[in-house]
Amino acid sequence: MGVSRILLLFVITIAMAMFVVSERNRIIEIGYQVAKLQRSCDELSEKNRKLNYYVSRLQSPEVIVYKVQSLKLPLAPQEDQAGMIAVQVKLKEDVVKAMKKVINKDFYTQKGVLVNCCSLHN
């Protein structure tokens, strides 16, 4: 009886040790996966920030005015000169608003990326 009990305890101890080692290996593997996903998140956040910058640059009034001029698109109907002046004044106001929005959006986007990255790391 004594030998069988010792053998049983030995087998149980070995089984528990193997379980602990396998769980430890799984934890390490999950840690590597988390690190890889964090790197991927950082890369995607950086790419997102760059794309937002390019989008805001393409939406900037200077680029839009350049495209309108290069494509020779009419800004207003040619028949109504008073309406054309009003449209040009409105366009100028819209350009000023858009410029302010682009500047604010750049600051907001940079802040948003930093907040998102910090919240993901926590």
| Digit-coded pLDDT (tens) for 31-87 | 999 999 999 999 999 999 999 998 888 888 888 877 777 777 666 555 554 455 555
Task: For tokens 């290069």, name the residue.
Answer: 70
The pLDDT-based confidence of 119 (bands split at 50, 70, 90) is very low
CA–CA distance, 66 with 78 (Å, rounded to integer): 20
CA–CA distance, 85 with 23 (Å, rounded to integer): 75
Residues of the domain holding 68:
2-121
pTM (two decimals) = 0.45
pLDDT of residue 120: 45
The total number of residues written for the chain in this structure: 122
Q: Which of 83, 45, 92, 44 is nearest to 65 (CA)?
A: 92
H helix intervals, the chain: 2-58, 61-71, 81-121
Number of independent structural domains in the chain: 1
Rg over alpha carbons for the chain, rounded to the nearest Å, is 32
Instruction: Assign 68 to helix, strand or coil.
Output: helix
Contact assessment for residue 110 and residue 49, using Cβ atoms and an 8 Å cutoff: yes
CA–CA distance, 62 with 90 (Å, rounded to integer): 16
